Copies of this chain bind each other. A is one copy, B any other.
Amino acid sequence: MTIRTGLKKRLKPGWKKEMRQKLNYEDVGFAKIDHHRIKRKGFPETIFGQGKTPDQTAKIAEKIYSNGQDVLITRTNKESFIAVKSILQNAEFHETAKIIAISRKKQTKKTKESICVLSAGTADLPTAEEAAVTAEFLGNTVQRIFDVGVAGIHRLMNNLKKIKKSKVVIVVAGMEGALPSVVGGLIDRPIIAVPTSVGYGSSFKGLAALLTMLNSCAPGIAVVNIDNGYGAAVMAHLILRK
């Protein structure tokens, strides 16, 4: 297996040799950091920030970074960002996406082909941004088209040409989650549907949107967990670099 463009540049020179000398994973007491993942999966282990203290977050981030890898922290917050930033000065905070990204060098080379991220409403933005920022962190060119839900379908139609230029489409929608079905009937790209927990009452925290997407009558759609913008981005990344 070779490391593809867009990921190689995330590793400091000489990392490969260094890594072989270590074990596949490193035991830091409360966690076994999977340094081997970047080889197996094509992207580094991501830190799921939710439920971790700023201190814990910073500690794991440092460990991974010092190992020669770039670091992505999802579902995190400003407090954790301050803690991480005090150790790793090049950390950046994407507020809407709730993501901290720590890259060795500015990403200048992006993929020629792009991932399109659509969102149905403004309330779906945090999940849509989680997808977009993750995809960019992994080296992909991302095209954002937000607030094009089915209640005003002309907004979608006006953007159809732009959407078709991308090779993979991530569609983020809450409430009734109908957007992926409509998009799926209009384009011939693989669509990754992301239900969000946006809604109330019988949306049952995203269950309604999830079921809608799983039952789509338009084929060429696959679904990830509710609010899982990160997972959608990784899937899109793997499709693009296939």
The reply to whether B153 and A182 form a contact with Cβ atoms under 8 Å apart is yes
A143 within 8 A of B: no
- B235 near A190 with CB under 8 A, answer yes
Q: What's the Cα separation between A55 and B240 when bound, in Å?
A: 39
In this complex, what residue of B is CB-closest to A41?
Answer: B188
Q: 1/0 per residue A204-226: CB within 8 Å of B?
A: 11111111111111111111111
A170-227 contacts to B, CB under 8 A, are: 175-178, 181-182, 184-190, 192, 195, 197, 199-227
A200 (CB) vs chain B CBs: closest residue: B227
Report whether A155 and B213 are in contact in the complex, using a CB–CB cutoff of 8 Å. no
Residues from chain B with Cβ under 8 Å of A213 in the complex: 176
Tell whether A51 is near chain B: CB-to-CB under 8 Å. yes
* Whole-angstrom distance between the Cβ of A144 and the nearest chain B Cβ: 11
Residues of chain B lying within 8 A (CB to CB) of residue A223: 214, 222-224
Closest CB-CB distance, A44 to chain B, in whole Å?
11
B242, A220: Cβ atoms closer than 8 Å: no
Q: Is A149 touching B222 in the complex (CB atoms < 8 A)?
A: no
- Which chain A residues numbered 142 to 173 have a C-beta less than 8 Å away from chain B? 146-155, 158, 164, 167-168
Instruction: Flag if A225 contacts B215 (CB, 8 Å).
Output: yes
| Residue among A122, A188, A189, A213 with the highest chain B CB neighbour number at 10 A | A188
Known contacts being A151-B181, A186-B40, is A238 close to B214, with CB within 8 Å?
A: no
How far does the Cβ of A162 sit from chain B's closest Cβ, in whole Å?
A: 13
* Chain A interface residues toward B at CB < 8 A: 1, 24-25, 30-32, 34, 36-37, 40-43, 46, 48, 50-51, 120-123, 125, 146-155, 158, 164, 167-168, 175-178, 181-182, 184-190, 192, 195, 197, 199-228, 230-232, 234-235, 238-240, 242
13 sample A-B contacts, Cβ–Cβ < 8 Å, listed by A number? A1-B164, A25-B154, A30-B125, A40-B185, A121-B217, A150-B218, A151-B184, A176-B181, A188-B238, A197-B201, A200-B226, A203-B215, A219-B230
